[in-house]
Amino acid sequence: MVLSPKKHAVRLWLNVDWGEVIPVETPVRDSQAEDYDALVIPGGVIAADTLRADRQVVKLVRDFLAQDKPVGAMGHAVWVLIEAEAVNGRMVTSIESIRSDVSHAGGTWVDDAAVHDGHVITGRHHHDLPDFVAAVAEDLARD
């Protein structure tokens, strides 16, 4: 299911240009963590920067973690975890350019394809998607 702060559709970014438009099934403002099994936050500079500035998105991330549900973040999406104060004391990975952001938020940055700390699963970049998706699936299977 696609959630977004936008109501109707979101436009994807593909390499160096805009990609396809996909429908939003539920706006974040109408979403509650108890209605879902996991949350995966997409990577990319534009998406992550937009999502971390949205108070409803940050609250939803906090609610997922408070309910001990898996939250995955790929690449720059770790910024959203930082904004939700979910990195302090955790081992995480991300795109290397935000390594210092992780450290300043109290996290330990690890150079690994996917890092699993509690119910927080993080990945470096799209090349690591198979490892990241496997880690998210593993967390879902645990519960």
Ranges of H-type helices in 67-124 = 78-83, 99-104
- Count H helices, E strands: the chain? 5, 10
Report percent pLDDT > 70 for the chain.
Answer: 98
Q: Would you list the domain boundaries of the chain?
A: 29-142
- What is the CATH class of 29-142? alpha beta
- Say if residues 61 and 28 touch (Cβ distance below 8 Å): no
Predicted local distance difference test score (pLDDT) of residue 68: 95
- Determine the average pLDDT of the residues in 45-64: 94
